[in-house]
């Protein structure tokens, strides 16, 4: 990054330094050629800047892509982790059978014996995107495999995100901040963790869509143009089709509008932008079957609707105020209207909720607002490691110096308040809160953190560079006229205060560049060491420094695929469900789409019952094979023994027969000889 913002300033100052020199030279040399060189030089400064900007953007674009290829280099071109396997499987289905089959797909291979209506219970954005890329490449006669497309989708969209970040930064601050934002987000570990090659998950596409929607909305608010607003509605549609995190958008934007209304920044531009975006976005979002009518029926979406009505009331009042000359009359009218509007709204909400038309908030939503909620009420959410509250270390790990630039950027934003900066401030603050609640939401906060930090970096560097440049210019203009002895007295005045200022500026600049280069090093290190593991293949260093690869998961899945009857049912803990269906191609009882808590609890109960009871449960589920993971030999820590307490808790949550204390000895979890008798004799 450091190297990226440098040339921009370097060339700017360079052009200034060299223009007097060029004039001197022109005086000495032949006239005509100099006229041309000078003319073309002068003409080019703007083009040069454009050229540099475009080439920096392109470099950032490429950088964002290749830094995510560490996982392919260190391991192989494969799909990572758990959910991506489901996405991969559905994408393969989509490319093979076509869109309509996909839309109507009833999958009997998972959630046996219930099955799952895939078409109606997923966000199809990612799969359709990958399939489109695949079809386009096929059409252009590039015989690629769908797996390669899926593996590289996330890096590709990460690259696109850098472009959006550039334009967003340009919109809220200036093009310098945009460039810095693009460079920062290209390598920010918080984002890389979800978008390395092979991490074929919704988030990879969704962050692009999220940022795009926000950018287009801010653009629409800034310009008041219907076209931008429409574009942002489509961005929102894409986001809805890609990820459940769209709820963040549909709550943040109304909140932003509300803040603008309260702070008296209401304008026609805002009215146009919000109305168009909300109405069209809502209608478009209803086309996604998984979302359906939630926009008008679910409690989580009511804020947007409320603000929509509020802004109509506002507009109406505005119009009335224009028509009514008498201020007193208007005050009375205002009071009546506001009271009526609020009471109508409250009554509508109350009736809707009471009659069950408007569904209450879901557990996930509660757990976002209140970090302790999930622990007490929904163990299945709490059991996922990425739903844990975030530790400080992971903030540091994922943001590094951005954590320090973030408050500085907030300061700059507050100093130059505009509609756009208010938005980015709100986005930053809310997403930071959510990032603190759940580890995985660091991802959502990352673009905001990068943008705000970019503002800080860009503004600081610009100010400092101006100081440095002003001085050097003065020196130059002085020295260029060697014959003249007298200088402007005004310049002498400035000179007295400048040495200290200039040195200070240089030191600060160097410090900023040092921090940024540390950031770049840190990001590369984190990407290559921490975030590139597919987590399905494990690599370790052997005693002699050689690389040892543990590929036991795939060994097991491939054995299932090859050597079991095609209709065999495999019972395992839900973590492995997607992988078994995708790699083992066998029917599973439960999988990572934890939509049916009871079913998971049944499996948990089977796992934690005595063997004869467990046998009965498994017979009732037609189970042919049981897959358990034991990491004791190789020292793999996240095996089923480690997860066992969660099985007990989730099982116990539905079937009170299972009690957690039965498996503990004096409140401790032991797995050795001293373990609780029930623990020793259960199926696990």
Partner 1 sequence: MAKTMTRGTRFVLFLLAVATFSAPVLSDLILAKVERRIDLTSQIVRITTTLKVENTGSDPVSEVLLTFPDNQANHLAYLTVTVNGGKGKGKASSGGNLPVGVVHPEGMPPSLTTYSVSLPKGLGKGDSLLLDVLAVFTHSLRPIPEKITQSDIQLVLFQESAHYLSPYDVKVQSLSVKLPDARIESYTKLENTKLHGSEIKYGPYENLSPFSYLPIVIHFESNHPFAVAKELIREVEISHWGNVQVTEHYSLVHAGAQSKGEFSRLDYQARPYVRGASAFRRLVARLPPRAHSVYYRDEIGNISTSSLWGDSKKMELEIEPRYPMFGGWKTTFTIGYGLPLEDFLFAVDGKRVLNITFGTPMKELVIDNLFVKVVLPEGSSGISASVPFPVKQRQETKISHLDVVGRPVVVLEKSNVVPEHNVHFQVYYKFSCLSMLRKPLMLIAGFFFLFVTCVVYMHVDLSISKSSPTYLAKLQWEEVQTNIQQLCNIINRCLTTNDKLEASLRDLSRTGDVQACKTTRKSVDNLLKELSKELKPLLTFLQSAPQAAHIAPKVEELIAKERELQERLMAKHSTVVDCYEKKLGGREIENRISSHQQKITALRQEVDDLLEFIDEI
Tokens at residue 452, please? 């705000």
Cβ nearer to partner 1, comparing 138 with 522: 138
User: Minimal distance in Å, beta carbon 546 to partner 1?
Assistant: 12
User: Minimal distance in Å, beta carbon 484 to partner 1?
Assistant: 6
Q: Identify whether the C-beta of residue 266 lies closer than 8 Å to the C-beta of residue 260.
A: yes
Cβ nearer to partner 1, comparing 89 with 400: 89
Cβ nearer to partner 1, comparing 35 with 329: 35
Choosing from 99, 366, 558, 615, the residue that interacts with partner 1 (CB under 8 A) is 558
User: Minimal distance in Å, beta carbon 225 to partner 1?
Assistant: 9
Q: Identify whether the C-beta of residue 374 lies closer than 8 Å to the C-beta of residue 594.
A: no
Q: E strands of 37-103, at which residues?
A: none
Cβ nearer to partner 1, comparing 75 with 167: 75
Choosing from 11, 17, 38, 299, the residue that interacts with partner 1 (CB under 8 A) is 38
Rule CB under 8 A: say whether 540 interacts with partner 1.
no
Find where tokens 């954005």 sit: 125
- What whole-number distance in Å separates Cα of residue 203 and Cα of residue 471? 48
Q: Which string of DSSP letters, residue by residue, matches 585-625?
A: --EES--SS---HHHHHHHHHHHHSBHHHHHHHHHHTT--E
Half-sphere exposure of 205 (CA within 13 A, CB side): 28
Tokens at residue 4, please? 């990226």
- Residue 236: cis peptide before it, omega within 30 degrees of 0: no
Q: Identify whether the C-beta of residue 576 lies closer than 8 Å to the C-beta of residue 623.
A: no
Which H or E element spans position 584?
A: none
User: Minimal distance in Å, beta carbon 112 to partner 1?
Assistant: 21
| Choices 40-48, 200-208, 377-385, 502-510 (CB under 8 A): range interacting with partner 1 | 40-48
Q: Identify whether the C-beta of residue 540 lies closer than 8 Å to the C-beta of residue 548.
A: yes
| Choices 26-34, 154-162, 250-258, 398-406 (CB under 8 A): range interacting with partner 1 | 26-34
| Choices 99-107, 411-419, 501-509, 555-563 (CB under 8 A): range interacting with partner 1 | 555-563
| Choices 15-23, 228-236, 611-619, 673-681 (CB under 8 A): range interacting with partner 1 | 15-23
Choosing from 139, 141, 325, 672, the residue that interacts with partner 1 (CB under 8 A) is 141
Q: Identify whether the C-beta of residue 305 lies closer than 8 Å to the C-beta of residue 296.
A: yes
Rule CB under 8 A: say whether 554 interacts with partner 1.
yes
Tokens at residue 315, please? 């507009």
Main-chain dihedrals φ then ψ at residue 613, nearest 5 degrees: -65, -40
User: Minimal distance in Å, beta carbon 174 to partner 1?
Assistant: 12
User: Minimal distance in Å, beta carbon 11 to partner 1?
Assistant: 14
Rule CB under 8 A: say whether 21 interacts with partner 1.
no
User: Minimal distance in Å, beta carbon 482 to partner 1?
Assistant: 12
Identify residues 276-305 at the interface with partner 1 (CB under 8 A).
none
Rule CB under 8 A: say whether 42 interacts with partner 1.
yes
User: Minimal distance in Å, beta carbon 218 to partner 1?
Assistant: 20
User: Minimal distance in Å, beta carbon 77 to partner 1?
Assistant: 8
Burial letters for 84-108: b for 16+ Cβ neighbours within 10 Å, e otherwise? bbbbbbbbbbbbeeeeeebeebebe
User: Minimal distance in Å, beta carbon 411 to partner 1?
Assistant: 27
Rule CB under 8 A: say whether 142 interacts with partner 1.
yes
Query: Can you say whether the dihedral through the CA atoms of 609, 614, 616, 622 is positive or negative?
Result: positive
Rule CB under 8 A: say whether 472 interacts with partner 1.
no
Cβ nearer to partner 1, comparing 94 with 515: 94
- What whole-number distance in Å separates Cα of residue 63 and Cα of residue 622? 51
User: Minimal distance in Å, beta carbon 26 to partner 1?
Assistant: 6
Identify residues 63-92 at the interface with partner 1 (CB under 8 A).
76, 78
Identify residues 508-537 at the interface with partner 1 (CB under 8 A).
537
Query: Can you say whether the dihedral through the CA atoms of 494, 499, 502, 505 is positive or negative?
Result: negative
Q: Identify whether the C-beta of residue 180 lies closer than 8 Å to the C-beta of residue 454.
A: yes
Residues forming beta bridges with residue 572, ordered by sequence position: 627
Choosing from 13, 34, 48, 359, the residue that interacts with partner 1 (CB under 8 A) is 34
Choosing from 10, 14, 33, 35, the residue that interacts with partner 1 (CB under 8 A) is 35
Q: Identify whether the C-beta of residue 380 lies closer than 8 Å to the C-beta of residue 650.
A: yes
- What whole-number distance in Å separates Cα of residue 121 and Cα of residue 104? 11
User: Minimal distance in Å, beta carbon 563 to partner 1?
Assistant: 5
- What whole-number distance in Å separates Cα of residue 657 and Cα of residue 539? 40
3-state SS class at 418: coil
User: Minimal distance in Å, beta carbon 578 to partner 1?
Assistant: 13
Rule CB under 8 A: say whether 31 interacts with partner 1.
yes
Q: Tell me the three-class secondary structure of 423-471, residue by residue.
A: HHHHHHHHHHHHHHHCHHHHHHHHHHHHHHHHHHHHHHHHHHHHHHHHH
Number of residues that bind partner 1 (CB under 8 A): 38
User: Minimal distance in Å, beta carbon 42 to partner 1?
Assistant: 6
Cβ nearer to partner 1, comparing 286 with 628: 628
Choosing from 6, 11, 17, 26, the residue that interacts with partner 1 (CB under 8 A) is 26
Rule CB under 8 A: say whether 469 interacts with partner 1.
no
Q: Which string of DSSP letters, residue by residue, matches 325-349?
A: --HHHHHHHHHHHHHHHHHHHHHHH
| Choices 110-118, 256-264, 550-558, 569-577 (CB under 8 A): range interacting with partner 1 | 550-558
Rule CB under 8 A: say whether 465 interacts with partner 1.
no
Cβ nearer to partner 1, comparing 545 with 667: 545
- What whole-number distance in Å separates Cα of residue 400 and Cα of residue 141? 43
Q: Which string of DSSP letters, residue by residue, matches 238-295?
A: HHHHH-TTHHHHHHHHHHHHHHHHHTT---HHHHHHHHHHHHHHHHHHTTSTTTTTHH
Rule CB under 8 A: say whether 484 interacts with partner 1.
yes
**Structural Rg of the chain based on CA atoms:** 30
Cβ nearer to partner 1, comparing 374 with 560: 560
Choosing from 21, 39, 329, 657, the residue that interacts with partner 1 (CB under 8 A) is 39
Rule CB under 8 A: say whether 30 interacts with partner 1.
no
Length of the chain measured in residues:
684
Q: What would the x/- binding string for partner 1 be over residues 617 to 646, using CB under 8 A?
A: ----------------x-------------
Tell me how far CA of residue 164 lies from CA of 171, 209, 369, 427, 524, in angstroms: 10, 9, 29, 16, 22
Cβ nearer to partner 1, comparing 34 with 597: 34
Identify residues 581-620 at the interface with partner 1 (CB under 8 A).
583
Q: Identify whether the C-beta of residue 420 lies closer than 8 Å to the C-beta of residue 260.
A: no
Choosing from 393, 562, 598, 637, the residue that interacts with partner 1 (CB under 8 A) is 562
Identify residues 429-448 at the interface with partner 1 (CB under 8 A).
none
Residues that bind partner 1 (CB under 8 A): 16, 19, 23, 26-28, 31, 34-35, 38-39, 42-43, 45-46, 76, 78, 141-143, 477, 481, 484, 486, 488, 537, 549, 551, 554-555, 557-559, 561-563, 583, 633
């Amino acid at each position: 990054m450091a190297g990226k913002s440098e040339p921009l300033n370097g060339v700017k100052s360079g052009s200034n330094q060299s223009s007097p020199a060029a004039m001197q030279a022109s005086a000495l040399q032949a006239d005509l050629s100099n006229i041309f060189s000078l003319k073309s030089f002068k003409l080019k400064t703007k083009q040069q800047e454009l050229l540099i900007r475009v080439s920096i953007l392109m470099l950032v674009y490429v950088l964002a892509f290749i830094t995510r290829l560490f996982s392919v280099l260190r391991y192989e071109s494969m799909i990572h982790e758990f959910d991506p396997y489901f996405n991969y499987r559905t994408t393969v289905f989509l490319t093979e059978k076509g869109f309509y089959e996909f839309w109507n797909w009833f999958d009997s291979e998972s959630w046996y014996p219930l099955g799952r209506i895939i078409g109606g219970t997923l966000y199809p954005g990612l799969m359709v995107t990958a399939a489109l890329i695949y079809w386009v490449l096929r059409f252009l006669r590039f015989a690629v495999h769908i797996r390669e497309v899926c593996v590289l989708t996330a890096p590709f969209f990460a690259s696109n995100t850098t472009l959006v970040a550039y334009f967003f930064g340009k919109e809220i601050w200036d093009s310098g901040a945009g460039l810095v934002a693009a460079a920062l987000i290209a390598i920010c570990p918080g984002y890389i963790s979800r978008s390395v090659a092979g991490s074929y998950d919704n988030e990879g596409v969704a962050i692009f869509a999220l940022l795009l929607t926000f950018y287009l909305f801010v653009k629409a608010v800034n310009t008041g143009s219907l076209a931008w607003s429409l574009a942002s509605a489509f961005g929102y549609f894409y986001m809805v089709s890609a990820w459940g995190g769209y709820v963040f958008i549909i709550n943040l934007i109304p909140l932003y509008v509300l803040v603008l209304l309260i702070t008296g920044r209401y304008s026609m531009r805002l009215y146009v932008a919000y109305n168009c975006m909300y109405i069209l976005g809502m209608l478009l979002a209803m086309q996604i079957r998984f979302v359906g009518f939630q926009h008008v029926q679910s409690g989580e979406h009511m804020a947007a609707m409320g603000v929509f009505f509020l802004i109509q009331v506002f507009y109406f009042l505005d119009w009335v105020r224009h028509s009514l000359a008498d201020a007193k009359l208007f005050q009375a009218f205002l009071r009546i209207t506001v009271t009526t509007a609020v009471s109508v709204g409250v009554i509508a909400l109350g009736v809707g909720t009471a009659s069950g038309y408007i569904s209450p908030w879901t557990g996930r939503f509660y757990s976002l607002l209140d970090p302790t909620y999930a622990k007490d009420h929904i163990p299945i959410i709490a059991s996922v490691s990425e739903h844990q509250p975030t530790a400080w270390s992971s903030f540091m790990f994922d943001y590094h110096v951005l954590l320090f630039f973030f408050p500085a950027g907030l300061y700059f934003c507050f100093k130059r308040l505009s509609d756009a900066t208010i938005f980015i401030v709100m986005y930053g603050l809310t997403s930071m809160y959510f990032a603190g609640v759940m580890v995985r939401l660091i991802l959502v906060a990352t673009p905001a953190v990068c943008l705000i930090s970019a503002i800080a970096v860009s503004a600081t560097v610009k100010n400092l560079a101006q100081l440095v440049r002003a001085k050097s210019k003065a020196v130059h203009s002085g020295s260029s006229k060697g014959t003249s002895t007298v200088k402007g007295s005004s310049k002498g005045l400035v000179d007295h205060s400048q040495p200290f200022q200039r040195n200070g500026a240089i030191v600060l600049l160097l410090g900023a560049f040092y921090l940024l280069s540390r950031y770049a090093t840190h990001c590369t290190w984190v990407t290559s060491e921490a975030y590139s593991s597919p987590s399905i293949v494990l690599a370790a260093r052997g005693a002699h420094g050689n690389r040892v690869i543990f590929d036991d998961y795939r060994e097991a899945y491939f054995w299932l695929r090859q050597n079991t009857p095609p209709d065999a049912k495999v019972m395992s803990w839900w973590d492995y469900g997607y992988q078994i269906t995708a790699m083992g191609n066998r029917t599973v009882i439960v999988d990572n789409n934890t939509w049916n808590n009871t079913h998971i609890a049944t499996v948990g109960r089977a796992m934690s019952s005595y063997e004869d009871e467990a046998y009965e449960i498994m017979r009732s589920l037609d189970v042919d094979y049981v897959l358990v993971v034991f990491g004791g030999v190789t020292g793999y820590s996240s095996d089923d023994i480690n997860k066992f307490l969660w099985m007990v808790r989730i099982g116990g949550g539905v079937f009170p027969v299972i009690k957690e204390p039965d498996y503990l000895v004096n409140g401790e979890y032991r797995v050795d000889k001293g373990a609780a008798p029930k623990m020793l004799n259960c199926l696990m």
